[in-house]
Chain A
Amino acid sequence: LAKTTQPISMDSYEGQEVNITCSHNNIATNDYITWYQQFPSQGPRFIIQGYKTKVTNEVASLFIPADRKSSTLSLPRVSLSDTAVYYCLVGDSSNAGKSTFGDGTTLTVKP
């Protein structure tokens, strides 16, 4: 399974755009990139998933360069409620059960 590497923590201020990058140098051809968000004392929640180029939904955007060895989760105009841990996962349906969440990136949004 492709290993992912993310920054341990990031700080931001309300209203700013936040970009969290995940490295996955050994990503396989069939692997998708998925991001989850976890608030304290809650289970993770799916944010976005992509395979290549750019994906956007009502919550975030996901940028994936051509070589797919990294990906960037972009959160526009963050608010205090976006303070959470963000996990990057790499895998496909064949290894879904082994999706490893790693330690994630703790994002702290300050007023």
Chain B
Amino acid sequence: NAGVMQNPRHLVRRRGQEARLRCSPMKGHSHVYWYRQLPEEGLKFMVYLQKENIIDESGMPKERFSAEFPKEGPSILRIQQVVRGDSAAYFCASSPGTSGRMHSEQFFGPGTRLTVL
């Protein structure tokens, strides 16, 4: 049973280019979360998606960032016109959904390390 998969693991972009990060959730999981982690800092929530729906994007920068989780295929985090400040590790997590009232355990992928030159 494969875990959460993210690709690429490392991505280098020049300022102004686009970055596309992919996340394949665990089999049977319909909830996907994206987080950003700067060096020496904790994870910052970006967006929470279910199939074809954005549930909560309160952590997403208003410009240049977008996310989708289509009916078929992986979830995509897209960063347009990247700047040096976008350099970070981007983690995706998936969960099977809500377990009643409980916080549903999130299973994390290995992350994509984005470097903007």
Contact = CB atoms under 8 A, between A and B. Distances in A.
State yes or no: do A and B come from one complex: yes
Interface of A: 30, 32, 34, 41-46, 49, 51, 85, 87, 89, 91-93, 96-104
Given A44-B108, A87-B42, A98 B56 contact: yes
B95 interface: yes
B69 interface: no
Given A93-B99, A97-B55, A98-B56, 8 more contacts: A43-B110, A51-B102, A91-B103, A93-B100, A96-B95, A99-B106, A101-B42, A101-B45
A30 B4 CA distance: 28
Contacts of B101: 30, 32, 92-93
B109 interface: yes
Contacts of A98: 45, 48, 56, 58-59
A96 B48 contact: yes
B111 A49 contact: no
A49 B105 contact: yes
A93 B109 contact: no
Contacts, number: 78
7 contacts: A43-B91, A43-B109, A44-B43, A87-B42, A89-B103, A93-B103, A97-B33
A100 B108 contact: no
Which of B35, B59, B100, B106 has most chain A Cβ within 10 Å? B106
Interface residues of B, number: 32
Contacts of B103: 32, 34, 49, 89, 91-93, 96, 99
A59 to B, nearest CB: 13
A46 B110 CA distance: 14
Nearest to A97: B48
Contacts of B99: 93
A32 B109 CA distance: 23
A44 B43 CA distance: 9
B77 interface: no
A29 B4 CA distance: 31
A44 B104 CA distance: 14
